[in-house]
Structures are given as C-alpha cells and as structure tokens.
Amino acid sequence: MNFIFVSAHYPVRYFKWTEALKARGFNVLVIGDAPYESLHSRLIHSMREYYFVPDMNDFQAMSRAVEYFEKKYGKIDYLESMNEWWLRMDAKLRAKFGIPGLLPSDMDRLTAKSDMKHYFELGGAKTIRYLLVKGPEDREAASAFVKKVGYPVFVKPNIGVGANDSYRINGENEFDRFFSRELPETYIMEEYIDGSIVSFDGICNDQSEVVFATSDHFPVPIAKIVNEKLDYYYYDVPFSLEMKDINAKEFYKVGCQVVKAFNIKKRFFHIEFFVLNQDKEGLGKKGDFIALECNMRAPGGDTPDLIDYGNSLSVYDIYADVIAYNESRVTPYPKVYYALATHRRDTLAYEHSESEIFARYGDKIVHWGRYPAAMAAAMADKFYDARFETLEEGLEFDTFVREKVHYE
C-alpha cells in the first residue's frame, strides 16, 4: 500500500512515523520542502522516494508531486501530514486524487473554532460563549457581547495554528485598540476562562472508536508563554494514574464521545479542554472541564515522544497499526509514569547548570535537546523530558531546572 507523508522531515523526529509505517509493509513516499541532503538518515532509510517541492503552499506543485507518485507506484491509499498547517492542503489533494480521508468539506468543522463547538456539544462537552468579529463593523455587537460576559475577553483567529495573535482584552482601552484596525481575517471573541488546559490525545479507528488515549496537562496557557516569552513545563498523565486536576473517568468518557461526534476515522487527535480554576457562574464548578478546540492530528513538537515516555509504548506504532489493521497490536507495558517536559529560554538566567541537572536527575531524564528556531517562540529553546513515579517528584524536577538566578 502507498502512503504519502507530507512534510515528514519537520519536526525532525517525524521519521518515527515513516519507520513505523514501513515496518508494516507500507510504501512510504514523502513530499517535503527541504533539500534531500538535509534529511535525517532515518527518514531516508524508511521512505521509498522523496519529492522536493520548494513551496508546499503551491497546490499545483503539490498536485504534480502526488501525480508523479501515482504514475510510478500506483493508487495512493493514504496521504497525511500530522501537521496543522497542512490539513487543508492534505484535504484538497485527497479530493483531487480520490484518496480516502478528510476532504475540504470537513475542514470548517475541524479547523474553525466556532464550528467546532457544535460537535463538542454533540459529544456532551460544555463550550464557551463566543462572537465572530470581522472588523470595526462588528464593534457594536462585540460591545453587547462584553456587557453580557464581562471583561476580560479572549480573541484569536477563528481559523489558526497554535497561539499566534491570541490575547486577552482587559478593558475599554484595549477594546478600542482592537477595533481601531481592519482585521486580517475573522476572529473569535470568547468569554475569558480562568483555567488550565488539559488535552485528550489519542488515536481512533475507522469507526471513530478510541483505541488509545492519554492526557497532557498545560498549567500555563500557551498564549501567555508566546506573548510573554516565558519558560514553562507541561506533563503527560496516562489514564491509569491519578490526576490531580480533573475527574479522569468522566474526562475519558466525554473525550471518547467527542471523538465520535466529530466522526474522524483512523486519525491521531489532540483535543483541548479548559479545567476551571474556580467556579464560573453559568458554566461550571472548579475542576469542571470546558471544551476549547480540537486539532485532528498529533500534538505538536516532541509531545508524541513525551506520551511514549509516560505510557511506556510507541504511539507511532499504534498509529501505524490502526492504518494497517484498524486496531492496535502494541502490547502495553504495565509500568507507566508522569512524564514532564521542562523548558528553558536562552534569554533567562538559571540557577543550576546543565551538569547540575544531570548530576541530580540523570537517571530520570529520557530526552533532551534544543528546539529549532521556528519552534522556539512557542516552545522555548531547550527542553528536558523526564519521567517519575509521582507528580510531586516531577514538579520538584521542574522547579530545579527552571529556578532563576537569585541576585543580591
């Protein structure tokens, strides 16, 4: 079977997807915008052929790549990128070449934050009140919305990747400033939620049934990290471990229902929820979870690896199993962990050196390195992934790694 993987070179460790697919007999064909000589050796060894496209936003150029592979290797069975940026391009290519999977008609419900809310509600999840705004002409409606929900409110592109151009509006001055310009696209304005993000991440089969799921916890909102250039941490918790911030059983139940409501098939998913830090009138009690947005692809950066460290398995293998056999054939390891990803920024001064970190936690650290410049704004510069038997140990590790220099 022929599987076209779009942008398998970025992030670098995406060669793990192609390796898992090749191991199950797939003919892995890769389209990318990086020169062949720059590719990781493990990607080169796990793919059949590479087609270089300098601008992967060029639909005609991408079509020529798919057409080339189709003529040379026969019918294309799957086409996927695992990257939010390319979801719409993936869908257009599937439609043109008759490849199964998500099509352009599916994209609004999966990428427009306003359209997602209907499917969240079908799955039994609570959602946040919102208003779509296109520019100064919507000022009056936005003013009425703010009177209803109160300040602050949160604004971001209705269709967008990550936390780019997402921020709080705290009062009238900031409200006036927001509406003083023509907006480059439609924005969604939502009531502000005092909460942290917990994601329901996993893989489903062709009946939209969850075959694997885990939870990733983000105590500091990504938008705050991006806007204020902070360092930060987040962590993975397998569903068999205790969760301090959420009712795991109820969260798993609703997460599975939401996946079913979105009717996605043979896909990785990363679905974000707010967990309330305090009671919110008309919405819920402290600890309740409220749907935020869905991302119907694997979580970004090296999070798939963090999931592996926490769950003691390979989500790359589970995904490839589902594509090949519509089920997971991975045998779960009985020992699971709280897996933490702690990040540092080059612009901040830290109390402890890297050698001190490894002297104290070397037996717990499973992966470390630097993010590429393109990811550093959101992810910080350096990362240290470690796993622990208790969350308390993990939080002590994070405190040690990110402790700042104390000046007299």
- pLDDT, one tens digit per residue, over 346-402 is 999 999 999 999 999 999 999 999 988 878 877 889 999 999 999 999 999 999 999
**Nearest CA to 26 among 74, 89, 66?**
74
- C-alpha to C-alpha distance for 211 and 133, rounded to whole angstroms: 38
**Nearest CA to 6 among 73, 120, 86, 91?**
86
pLDDT, mean of residues 253-268: 98
pLDDT digits (tens, 9 = 90+) for 46-79: 999 999 999 999 999 999 999 999 999 999 999 9
Topology of domain 129-191, per CATH? Dna Ligase; domain 1 (3.30.1490)
The conformation of residue 408, written as its DSSP 8-state character, comes to: -
**pLDDT surpasses 60 at 162:** no
pLDDT, mean of residues 147-170: 85
Topology of domain 195-402, per CATH? D-amino Acid Aminotransferase; Chain A, domain 1 (3.30.470)
**Nearest CA to 380 among 234, 266, 253?**
234
> For the chain, how are helix, strand and coil distributed in percent, rounded to 5?
40, 25, 35
Q: Which CATH class is domain 2-104?
A: alpha beta
Q: Is the pTM of this model over 0.85?
A: yes
pLDDT of 355: 97
Confidence of residue 406 (pLDDT cuts 50, 70, 90): confident
Question: What are the C-alpha distances in Å from 227 to residues 164, 174, 260, 386?
Answer: 9, 15, 34, 26
Task: Choose between 98 and 371: higher pLDDT.
Answer: 98
- C-alpha to C-alpha distance for 262 and 200, rounded to whole angstroms: 14
The answer to whether residues 337 and 310 touch, using CB atoms and an 8 Å cutoff, is yes
- Give the start-to-end residue ranges of the domains of the chain: 2-104, 129-191, 195-402
Question: What are the C-alpha distances in Å from 395 to residues 11, 219, 222, 234, 387?
Answer: 27, 11, 18, 10, 11
- C-alpha to C-alpha distance for 98 and 196, rounded to whole angstroms: 41
Query: Percent of the chain beyond pLDDT 90?
Result: 87
Q: Across all residues in the chain, what is the average pLDDT?
A: 95
pLDDT of 98: 98
The answer to whether residues 136 and 179 touch, using CB atoms and an 8 Å cutoff, is yes
